[in-house]
Structure 1
Amino acid sequence: MTRGFWLLVSALIAAVLIPLLLGGTGLLGRLLDFPLDLLALMLGMILVCWNINAIRLRLLLRRLHRTTHLRALGIVMASEFAFCATPGGAGGPLTLMALLARRGVRPAQATAVFAVDQLSDLLFFVFALIGILIYAVFHALSPHVGWLLGGSAALLTGVIIVVLGVARYHRTVLRTNGRLLRLLGMEPLKRLHWGRKVLRFRNALQDSLRMPKTVLVSVFLLSSLHWLLRNSILYMTLIGLGSTIPWAWTFLVQMLAMTAGQASLLPGGAGSAELASGALLTPMVGTATAGAAILIWRFVTYYFYLIAGAPVFIHLAGRPLLKRLIRFRRPQP
């Protein structure tokens, strides 16, 4: 087994140990007192999220490929498993494009579908952060959290501006990249090959964005519903543990924790997300409650994705792609 597999195993161990150490001796009691019906409800919310994303995928593919809801659901679950199991989530888009390619969707078209999907997510988070900023104006806000909130909003807005700028001035970007690749010594045929790939992606993205406005708005609304449900998990977890803090703050904790997890490039942000959320939650609810909340929240939004998604991934993508993503290698005899 190669380094990628052991990295995933180490990240999972760290993800469990951090909340256990944070919760201390009071953690077990908190976990035993947590209502099982509430846990079942939260797992059901994740199932609803997967179905929402399946509907969103079918809307984005309607002009490229007709697929059943069950198959779209399988693609979503397999892609999100790969996202959670690979460093930096790199396996998610790779799995999505591989599964769509098997159904006749060209790589440029699949990449464009993924890009539109991600843009709708970015728009939701920008609007959500603006809403939290408005909420914070009328409530007590520490300068530290204020800087985090403002910085996150500025970063997401900057990403959207850069994406729109690249789309608007793509010819200038292509010429600049061509000059840079020439300076780096890339052969003319290879430069032409990559330039054609970028243009195919640009054309496919334009086709996706030319879909009826009702479809694009529906995709955005479905994306918003998905993230509202998923980002309510921590709030409901704290309610089950007997600690209530405003939903807006739990949303902010989750967003900052997952940002830290992505920046760490560990599979699913395991370890980093727990550290960041622990640092933000402990001053609000105490160590025992914070440790229990993190363990339950991550079980629902991370471990459950791995447990439920693994058999779906194996069925749809097969072991060869799994070995390629996590880089299994059998020892040579």
Structure 2
Amino acid sequence: MKYSFVLLLILSLGLSLAVPVIYGGLESFHLLGRLPLWGMALLLGMVLLGWRFNAARLQILAGGLGRPLKARQALGTVVAAEFAGVATPAGSGGPPTLLFLLSQRGLSMGQSAAVLAVDTLADLVFFGTAIPLALLLYFLRSGISHPLIFATLLLMLALSGFGLLWLLIHKHRSFLLWLGRIGRRFPWLRRFRFRIGRMVVHFRQAITYLIRMPRYRLVALYVFTASHWLLRYSVLAVLLWMLKESVPWAYLFLVQSMLLFGGQMLLLPGGGGGVEVGFGALLNGYLEPSTSALTLIVWRFYTFYWYLLAGAPVFILQTGRAARRLLTLKP
């Protein structure tokens, strides 16, 4: 493993812990006693269940290619890929790890790339429908505490997600032509033509695979995708609920989307430092400094530190001798 990688990870962890201390001082760690043990267990259970939903997606996709995965294999693959994603700059280690492990499970490299492409496309479909709904809820100042509102939100999310999937499957040629016209209008995109071309190839692989999937597999794929991300993005909302703080769920969803996407743009693993600064800036109007620091420490534990602690041994066990090459991103 390169020393530069180790230094980047240490720097990221240091900044991730330093920013909350700057916000709320060392008193923030003493406030951890405000959280009940059952609450900490609940948050951990949400993360683990989210991993299981993510693993179920892999099982659906691999099974559709005639290469069924056992539950333990799929879960180990997900946890190892999540670790590689948060442990490397811009999450660059996640996709190679996923491709490598799927190839070790009996899938060809082409099949593994198709699984990765469909998995990524399912995520994009979810966020392409969830973010507009969250924006609508936020601007309408609507809460989702009432069960009827929550059920309506889930129904709208499901219907819009299935609708977008249907459009991508049946209108993908028009979509690609539209992207091509957009690209020609921006000359600076030519610098990224190879990367864009690779994305188009993966997109076509995903569409070809999705066209052949039975409808019940498509429904299950989207349900597990939505369940995974809703659980992951609800950790912060549940944490604030336990601290008796009132912040609109739609706003929290949008904040996390911006922070985690922005973190991918930073050179430090997990977006260390940048995510924390953004968190404080976006939630400063809702939380006191000490509460903000406490919330940030706990939230980052379940969405960053835990991925490193629990994922490292799984990654090493799953990848073996290939661990060094995958983490240092050598060809």
Query: Taking structure 2 as the reference length, what is the TM-score of the superposition?
Result: 0.79
Query: In the alignment, does 2:303 pair up with 1:284?
Result: no
Secondary structure, counterpart of 2:124 in structure 1:
helix
Tell me the distance in 1 between the aligned counterparts of 2:14 and 2:139: 40
**Counterpart for residue 2 of structure 1:** 3
Tell me the distance in 1 between the aligned counterparts of 2:20 and 2:52: 30
- Deviation of 1:251 (Å): 1.2
Query: In the alignment, does 2:242 pair up with 1:240?
Result: yes
Structure 1 stretches lacking a partner, 5+ long: 141-156, 177-183, 185-190, 329-333
- Deviation of 1:209 (Å): 3.7
Tell me the distance in 2 between the aligned counterparts of 1:21 and 1:297: 17
Query: In the alignment, does 2:22 pair up with 1:21?
Result: yes
Cα distance, 1:70–1:166 mapped onto 2, change above 3 Å? farther
- Deviation of 1:196 (Å): 11
Q: Match of 2:240, as an amino acid?
A: L
Tell me the distance in 1 between the aligned counterparts of 2:305 and 2:84: 12
Tell me the distance in 2 between the aligned counterparts of 1:262 and 1:269: 6
Contact 1:109–1:204 (8 Å) recurs in 2: no
Q: Match of 1:233, as an amino acid?
A: V
Tell me the distance in 2 between the aligned counterparts of 1:287 and 1:269: 21
Secondary structure, counterpart of 2:49 in structure 1:
helix
Tell me the distance in 2 between the aligned counterparts of 1:117 and 1:67: 15
Query: In the alignment, does 2:268 pair up with 1:272?
Result: no
Contact 2:77–2:318 (8 Å) recurs in 1: yes
Q: Match of 2:29, as an amino acid?
A: L
Q: Deviations over 1:232-279 (max 9, x none)?
A: 111111122231211111111211111221111321122111111111
**Counterpart for residue 30 of structure 1:** 31
Contact 1:51–1:73 (8 Å) recurs in 2: yes
Contact 2:50–2:228 (8 Å) recurs in 1: yes
- Counterpart of 2:301 (choices 282, 299, 302) is 299
Tell me the distance in 1 between the aligned counterparts of 2:204 and 2:111: 9
Cα distance, 1:196–1:45 mapped onto 2, change above 3 Å? closer
Identical positions, percent: 39
**Counterpart for residue 230 of structure 1:** 232
- Deviation of 1:311 (Å): 0.9
Cα distance, 1:199–1:27 mapped onto 2, change above 3 Å? closer
Contact 1:27–1:289 (8 Å) recurs in 2: yes
**Counterpart for residue 42 of structure 1:** 43
Tell me the distance in 1 between the aligned counterparts of 2:294 and 2:198: 51
Farther off after superposition, 258-267 or 303-312: 258-267
Q: What RMSD in Å do the two structures reach over aligned CA positions? A: 3.1
Contact 1:108–1:200 (8 Å) recurs in 2: no
Contact 1:23–1:289 (8 Å) recurs in 2: yes
**Counterpart for residue 73 of structure 1:** 75
**Counterpart for residue 180 of structure 1:** none
- Deviation of 1:97 (Å): 0.4
Secondary structure, counterpart of 2:285 in structure 1:
helix
Tell me the distance in 1 between the aligned counterparts of 2:198 and 2:86: 31
- Deviation of 1:85 (Å): 0.6
Aligned residues: 291
- Deviation of 1:293 (Å): 0.4
Q: Match of 1:126, as an amino acid?
A: G
Farther off after superposition, 315-324 or 45-54: 315-324
Tell me the distance in 1 between the aligned counterparts of 2:215 and 2:35: 44
Farther off after superposition, 18-27 or 60-69: 18-27
Contact 2:90–2:267 (8 Å) recurs in 1: yes
